[in-house]
Amino acid sequence: MMLPPPPAGLTPAVMRQVQIWAYAVVAADGAEWSLLLGPALVAQQPHLLAGDLVAVQDGAIVGHWPRGVALRAGPDGWTVRLGNKRTVTAAPNLTTLGPDALHTGDPVWVAPGEILARAWPWYEPQPVAPALVARLAGLLPTL
C-alpha cells in the first residue's frame, strides 16, 4: 500500500525507529512515513532516538529535538534527563506547553535551554498546538 507523502509545510512528528537508511516517523494525525534527513541535518550527524520530536518539511526531516523526563524544578528551570542519559536544565516555554504545570516524571521535548512541550509516544499521536509548530519553525535554520 502506498502512503501519501508528507505535506509540504512544516509538520511535527515523533521518531518511531531508525531504519537502515531512513527514519520511521509518525505525525500527530497518525500518518507514518519513512524519511531521510534534510541536508542541514546530514551535516550535523544527529543521533535520533525513538520518541524524539522531529520537524518534517518537503519530505525530509529538517529539525530534531530530544525527548526527556522532567526530574525536578529548580530556580533555573527543570532538570531533564534526556534519552542519551545526559541531564540538562531547561525553562518551560509556557506558550507551547500551555497553562498546566509540569510534574516530576512528565515526558517532555527540549530545545537548548527550553522545554518545548509534553511528549507523547509515537503509538498515541496527539494534536499539535499551533504555538508549537510556530516555535519549531523559529528554531529551524533558514532552509
pTM, two decimal places: 0.90
Please indicate, yes or no, if residue 85 is contained in any of the structural domains.
yes
The reported pLDDT for the residue numbered 16 is 95
Q: Are residues 16 and 58 in the same domain?
A: yes
The reported pLDDT for the residue numbered 18 is 92
One DSSP character per residue, the chain reads -PPPPPPSS-EEEEEEEE-SSSEEEEETTS-EEEEEEPHHHHHH-----TT-EEEEETTEEEEEE-EEEEEEEETTEEEEEETTS-EEEEEE-HHHH-SSPP-TT-EEEEETTEEEEE---TTS--PPPHHHHHHHHHHSPP-
The reported pLDDT for the residue numbered 98 is 76
Tally of domains within the chain: 2
Q: Are residues 55 and 37 in the same domain?
A: yes
46: domain CATH number is 2.40.50.140
The string of pLDDT tens digits covering residues 73-112 is 999 999 999 999 999 999 999 999 877 789 999 999 999 9
76: domain CATH number is 2.40.50
Please indicate, yes or no, if residue 97 is contained in any of the structural domains.
yes
Which regions of the chain are under pLDDT 70? 1-8, 141-143
Range of the domain at 72: 67-124
Q: Are residues 114 and 74 in the same domain?
A: yes
Please indicate, yes or no, if residue 33 is contained in any of the structural domains.
yes
Please indicate, yes or no, if residue 100 is contained in any of the structural domains.
yes
Please indicate, yes or no, if residue 58 is contained in any of the structural domains.
yes
